[in-house]
Structure 1
Amino acid sequence: MEARVLQCLALLVLSAECFGEDDVTYASGFYSKGPQKLSKFSSFSSARLHHFRVPEDTVLARWLLTVTRSGLNCETQDVTVHFRAGAPPVIDPVATAFPNQTAVTLAWNLTLSVGAKQQQNQSMVNVSSPAAGDWFVAAHLPEHDGKIQQKGLPSCSYLFQPQMFIRRAVDTPTLLPNIPQSQTLSRTHTPSILKFFVPEFSTQMSVHIVSCSVEGVAKPSCGLSLLIGSSSLGRDSRLTYNCTGEEGPQCSASVATPPWDSWVQVAVTTSLANVTVNFNILANYTVGCKPQSAPADFNSNFTVSVGNNGTVSTGNASAAATVAVGDVLSGWCVRTPAVFREETDVLALRFTVAGGNLTVPSDPPTLITFDLNSVATSGGTLNAHISLNTSSVIGGFDSVRACLTPSAPVMALNTSQPCAAAFVQGYSLSVNSSVTETALRIPFPEAAMWYLTLQTLCNDSSDCSNASAVVGVSVSVSACVDECGSYGDCRLLRTHSYLYATCACKAGWRGWGCTDGAEALSFSLQLQSVLFLTLSNLLFLPPIVLALYRGYLPEAAVYTYNMFFSTFYHACDQPGVTVLCIMEYNTLQFCDFLGSCTSVWVTIICMAKLQDLFKYVFFILGALLIAMSMSLDRHGLWNFLGPLLFALITMATAWVYRSVKRRQCFPPLWRRWVCFLLPGVLLALIGVCVYVFAETDANYLYTHSLWHVLMATSIVFLLPPRHTHTQPWGWTHTLCGYKICKNQKDDLYSVS
């Protein structure tokens, strides 16, 4: 109820704001995602990811974050929420080490706290002038404490639901190049928002306040400020220029390397209170460099072939080299070689540069464009690799510097030029005679056009104009970083229609690529784990031998089945390198769970001392029902306890019936109760308590092995003695020429 009230209030506030201005018309929208259950953080796969789409010309995005708790006697709990525009957020709440040559920028986040006496927490996050496009929200609980929570036990659970309200300008004023436009700032202090289109190959964008007046009177300073760009909750996502200290009415702002082929938002505000400010504003862009125009027809001589080992070879390399030389001879300011883009699989792209290798001169720079302007590629990892051919170095060569940036390229590289565009930070790479190869990996790259600029830097010698080198460039998109290495599995996850990949680490390894071995399990500990969990199943040999000796052949078969599949399931369910799987993991797990539950079932039914016909019916019916239950949810605690309780009720009913019929307690011997039943029940209860309450990730090999030992030992105590006159091992026989017969009704024996 509170959530609905808060939603209505938010919509009312948005509606009030929408009709607060007369010059611009605003529209509102509401987007909601279904609630998802939160998990303790262990890797990015345990975070709950939500995907939103912010429309163009949005001036306000407001997220309503709702955390709902269910359960009793819950302590105060923190929920961490991460935001990022353009791609899923890169997070590291447990401060693990990232793989080498991996560039990351952690996403903006906030923490929501649900108090001990609270059932719900609702918080608002406002983003003014948000970047249009894809936005991602990820939420998770604090780090996993290692406690293995059995499914079905009472626990505290948390649901997270994000909802987004947007306020969008329908008729945002558009600035045309070099054409002044009049605007008015009203007394309500609402910013004047405009937009300006920056075409491709623009190197600079400029905004000028030509004149301004306060209440119709021209003033030298109107307290104006310029905000250029959109907010993405990232570093340097918006640029602010304060015009208060400018001399004269004019105020200028210049933005170097603006994003190409996109709209840039310009907001104007004033620091003066309760006044109306009129001003004239104009914007312009500068195209400093354009590449050579591509031919109208497709060059059929240029071919790309893919080998069996995944290598890519290109044809007509000499033609590509000729074009490059032609660029230089014609005086072009940038070289743009052709790029072949190939989609090989889900979250798998490969880019191949025409000619294979590139000759990178000191002037002009070489610009390579990679089309990642699709949200379908933002859930993977961008890989870039540059190698230098040292035998190709010419002139006063010092190094080849490269700069990889999204949205806009850096058109000139030198020792003083930073690798950064107007609103984004780039990624710098360099190769020289000492370091001939370099690589870079970017998890969750932003969905945009990416640009790689390469240029040869000279040493202090005079022969700088002819300096050049040949480099090999390889750029691709893969699902995970190095496929998560030897101690992780790359998992493809989905949130609604959006696909992304993440690593699931094992054997104590952690981190984005499962490369942080600070808490990794040693080989000796891995070997100890597999030996404990498999050899402890040999404790089922005494119950098997005892069942055979007492003539319980079906029970012995079930115990053998349980011992076999439990041994090989735990041999397969191992982290690291000590793994042996004789079947598929899912098959082994199902058979292990089925065997464990069925062993308990047949033992209790055997203790009930039913007639053979009813006993075997219960055996078969119970096995079928347990198999059905395990196929539905083999991790549910009640799927194990349900058959156990039913079998106990059946046994208790049979014992009460026999006690009433014989007018004495069943079993009648006190030694049976004291020496067998009570120890067996005690061992079984201890085993169940260890399995349900004591298991953690750290002590699993000890506690689960103890569970094997206790359950196998309890069967030795609980298995009933063999029938009177029944030979050991259940063999049929005659005694003194007479056949031994068993009365099925009275459990008495007679000689005929």
Structure 2
Amino acid sequence: MFHALFYFALTHLLWSSAGLLFFCKYASARDVWNMPWPVAPYHSYMDIVPMRFDSPAGLTSLNFSFSAMKTKDACPGRDIYIIFANARLPLVDISQNSLPEYFVEPSQPGVEVVVQPGQMAEVSLIRPPPGPWYIGGYLRGIDQDIRQKGLNQDKACRYLYMFLAKLAEPVKATRILPGDEISTTIDTDGSSFSFTVSPRTVNFEVQVMQCKPGPCNISLSYLSFISKEVVEDCSSEVNSTLPSCALHISSPPLNDLHIVKIKFMGDDTQNLQKREVVFKVLVQECLPLELGLTPLSCGLTAALDRVQSPFPQATMFSMVNTMSMSLMTDLMSAKVIAIPFTIKEPNDVGGTLKWEMHVLLFSNITASYQQVCGGLIYNKLPDTSLTGLDLCSEDIPGAVNLKYPVSLELGPEKRSIKRYVPYPQTGQWFIVLQTHCFADDSLTEIDCGDRVLVEMLLEIQRCVDTECSGNGRCDLTTRGSDFVTYSACVCDAEYRGYGCTDGRYAQSTTVQLAGAYLLTLSNLAFVPAIILSIRRGFFVEAFVYFYNMFFST
């Protein structure tokens, strides 16, 4: 055993030294890289060891370089799958079959790169999102080779991977404050300006108020990591005022550094001329309900409190002053209700976010039908300034669309929903809800009355309701150089998926029972040896045989 441990430690040290020399040749002070880390065949998420690093806001680009290696030249080449994602643990094999019922399929599950030993793969991200990044690696398929364990363990082939994250320079931009009038001189190269917005922002608008001398041809552009570049071209032939020159951005990411570029588009005779421009950034926010203003297009409740259990991944979200774990919200307080809560590291990111909602009915409701729509939104708010905004038709992850007849005899299951989010992203989240009332089953909308109450339960839990659908066990671990804590289902009988619900490759109950019976009945082969040993007086041997027969299953 000592020789095996010594060989493993020496091998890991040599590969770490080789990786250090390799990356020192290409790395700089702004780069992030890891030592060579072994990968294992993927059976469950417990086979993945997450690595973590932080990326600042406002980078022009983020470039990943991945390399793979093997411990011996005689080892066969195998594909090493490397997965990474921003603000969340990257998921493996995302499909409808791998996620249980009522699960929200993430809009950004992560990026997967395949690399073989001795090769490198590169991925470049323009205007990457800020925050933590998680990286992991694994092998597909199961190693079926039979090898002797113990002192010969060092003869097994091992595969390792490394990554280098090159953080580009931040975007060169002048920092400004929303609401201030900014006077600047621009040319055909343009000028960039950066600013941040509050966590209540639903939209912002860049307005150019003056441009002189005229005529002015101006281009406004905005680039975010969640959308394509947005460009607005403005022109004024005579006057220096540009009343209609504005760039409107709906639902901007709340945690990013926003960058707007203003550029003068000169013609062939004026392309060297400069223009003086006056502009400002106007931000529209979702107003807190506690202000008591009516009517509100968007009403923001107080942020949910966290009730943290001493055990990891057992967090409840509630209003502490209500002395209850359930949340009661009146949907008639505003056109759109937004309920903020925060997912934090290290405990929340490795669990499952569960949201349950139940609509309460009252006997004094005048509508014949009610409809409640919304969902869970990460890092942004819906733009409630848009005319005719209807969450029932919006593309929201884990969308909720409950339409039901108003009848006290209606079963509660018709007015209830539940959603799960696997390994939720760290940062700001919102529950957004909107209600409609109808006189009949048609689209004739009427006033809902004084109130429409919903009762909700929000929590971070392990696996799926701390279980794995009866087809596996829920394990909790802390792994990696950054001590990432996460839970995962370890499935039995070839079940797969996040909650062991994917039975496409699972063994049937008959096969499982046959295997158990054959394993148990095979122990009866010890019976002749036990009887013979007793008859000949070898009682110690008989006891050993009996012990093996009884406990070998």
- Superposition TM-score, scaled by structure 2 size: 0.77
Mapped pair 1:255 → 2:252: no
Match in the other structure for 1:54: 55
> Relative to structure 1, is the Cα distance of residues 398 and 278 closer, same or farther in structure 2, using a 3 angstrom cutoff?
farther
> Relative to structure 1, is the Cα distance of residues 276 and 444 closer, same or farther in structure 2, using a 3 angstrom cutoff?
farther
The answer to whether the 8 A contact 2:91-2:110 is kept is: no
Mapped pair 1:530 → 2:530: no
1:241 to 201, 215, 230: 230
Distance 2:96 2:60 in 1: 35
Q: Which amino acid aligns with 1:466?
A: G
Match in the other structure for 2:3: none
Match in the other structure for 2:421: 442
Distance 2:228 2:163 in 1: 29
Q: Which amino acid aligns with 2:194?
A: K
Distance 1:448 1:120 in 2: 37
> Relative to structure 1, is the Cα distance of residues 419 and 264 closer, same or farther in structure 2, using a 3 angstrom cutoff?
farther
Match in the other structure for 2:14: none
Distance 1:553 1:268 in 2: 94
Match in the other structure for 1:458: 437
- Which has the larger share of helix? 1
Q: How does 1:111-260 map to 2 (within 5 A)?
A: 111-114=113-116, 119-144=117-142, 151=149, 152=152, 154-169=155-170, 172-177=173-178, 178-180=180-182, 182=184, 194-208=193-207, 221=217, 226-229=221-224, 231=225, 237-243=226-232, 246-248=234-236, 252-260=246-254
**Structure 2 SS opposite 1:562:** helix
**Structure 1 SS opposite 2:257:** strand
- The CA deviation string for residues 433-478 of structure 1, in whole angstroms up to 9 with x for no partner, is 2631111111111112211122221224464252743321111111
Distance 1:549 1:512 in 2: 55
Deviation at 1:351, TM superposition (A): 1.8
> Relative to structure 1, is the Cα distance of residues 88 and 76 closer, same or farther in structure 2, using a 3 angstrom cutoff?
same
Match in the other structure for 2:390: 417
Q: What stretches of structure 2 of length at least 5 have no aligned partner?
A: 1-16, 406-413
**Structure 1 SS opposite 2:360:** strand
Moved more, 357-366 or 75-84: 357-366
- The CA deviation string for residues 217-252 of structure 1, in whole angstroms up to 9 with x for no partner, is 988557x572332x3xxxxx1341235x65459764
The answer to whether the 8 A contact 1:62-1:165 is kept is: yes
> Relative to structure 1, is the Cα distance of residues 180 and 149 closer, same or farther in structure 2, using a 3 angstrom cutoff?
farther
Mapped pair 1:543 → 2:529: yes
Q: Which amino acid aligns with 2:33?
A: S
Distance 1:368 1:94 in 2: 29
The answer to whether the 8 A contact 2:40-2:139 is kept is: yes
Distance 1:504 1:148 in 2: 23
Match in the other structure for 1:359: 330
Deviation at 1:98, TM superposition (A): 1.4
**Structure 2 SS opposite 1:361:** helix
- The CA deviation string for residues 265-308 of structure 1, in whole angstroms up to 9 with x for no partner, is 34678999xx98967584413335422447xxxxxxxxxxxxxx
Distance 2:115 2:423 in 1: 28
**Structure 2 SS opposite 1:107:** coil
Distance 1:100 1:238 in 2: 29
Distance 1:468 1:107 in 2: 38
Match in the other structure for 1:402: 374
Match in the other structure for 1:109: 111
1:379 to 333, 339, 350: 350
Q: Which amino acid aligns with 2:348?
A: T
Match in the other structure for 2:84: 83
Distance 1:79 1:219 in 2: 58
Q: How does 1:553-572 map to 2 (within 5 A)?
A: 553-566=539-552, 570=553
Q: Which amino acid aligns with 1:134?
A: P
Match in the other structure for 1:519: 505
- Which has the larger share of strand? 2
The answer to whether the 8 A contact 1:291-1:332 is kept is: no
The answer to whether the 8 A contact 2:65-2:121 is kept is: yes
Q: Name which one, 1 or 2, has greater alpha-carbon Rg.
A: 1
> Relative to structure 1, is the Cα distance of residues 368 and 36 closer, same or farther in structure 2, using a 3 angstrom cutoff?
same
Mapped pair 1:486 → 2:470: yes
The answer to whether the 8 A contact 1:80-1:109 is kept is: no
Distance 1:183 1:74 in 2: 63
Deviation at 1:428, TM superposition (A): 1.9
Q: Which amino acid aligns with 1:480?
A: C
Distance 1:75 1:281 in 2: 65
Q: Which amino acid aligns with 2:375?
A: C
Deviation at 1:537, TM superposition (A): 1.6
Mapped pair 1:291 → 2:293: no
Q: Which amino acid aligns with 1:400?
A: V
Quote the RMSD (CA, aligned, Å): 3.8
Match in the other structure for 1:342: 307
Q: Which amino acid aligns with 1:253?
A: L
Distance 2:62 2:449 in 1: 53
How many positions carry a matched residue from both structures?
Answer: 497
Mapped pair 1:264 → 2:258: yes
Q: Which amino acid aligns with 1:470?
A: L
> Relative to structure 1, is the Cα distance of residues 113 and 288 closer, same or farther in structure 2, using a 3 angstrom cutoff?
closer
Q: Which amino acid aligns with 2:231?
A: N
Distance 2:109 2:366 in 1: 44
Distance 1:10 1:63 in 2: 12
> Relative to structure 1, is the Cα distance of residues 254 and 462 closer, same or farther in structure 2, using a 3 angstrom cutoff?
closer
Q: Which amino acid aligns with 1:448?
A: G
Deviation at 1:513, TM superposition (A): 0.7
Deviation at 1:172, TM superposition (A): 4.9
**Structure 2 SS opposite 1:427:** coil
The answer to whether the 8 A contact 1:39-1:141 is kept is: yes
Mapped pair 1:427 → 2:398: yes
Match in the other structure for 1:370: 341
**Structure 2 SS opposite 1:559:** helix
The answer to whether the 8 A contact 1:182-1:278 is kept is: no
- Superposition TM-score, scaled by structure 1 size: 0.58
The answer to whether the 8 A contact 2:354-2:460 is kept is: yes
**Structure 2 SS opposite 1:535:** helix
Distance 1:176 1:458 in 2: 41
Deviation at 1:256, TM superposition (A): 1.4
**Structure 1 SS opposite 2:399:** strand
Mapped pair 1:7 → 2:6: no
Q: How does 1:2-81 map to 2 (within 5 A)?
A: 3=19, 7-8=23-24, 10-11=26-27, 28-81=29-82
- The CA deviation string for residues 615-670 of structure 1, in whole angstroms up to 9 with x for no partner, is xxxxxxxxxxxxxxxxxxxxxxxxxxxxxxxxxxxxxxxxxxxxxxxxxxxxxxxx
> Relative to structure 1, is the Cα distance of residues 452 and 148 closer, same or farther in structure 2, using a 3 angstrom cutoff?
farther
**Structure 1 SS opposite 2:529:** helix
The answer to whether the 8 A contact 1:395-1:468 is kept is: no
Deviation at 1:159, TM superposition (A): 0.4
Distance 2:499 2:159 in 1: 28
Q: Which amino acid aligns with 1:113?
A: V
The answer to whether the 8 A contact 2:391-2:433 is kept is: no
Distance 1:516 1:384 in 2: 22
Mapped pair 1:476 → 2:459: yes
Q: How does 1:487-502 map to 2 (within 5 A)?
A: 487-494=471-478, 495-496=480-481, 497-502=483-488
Distance 2:364 2:501 in 1: 36
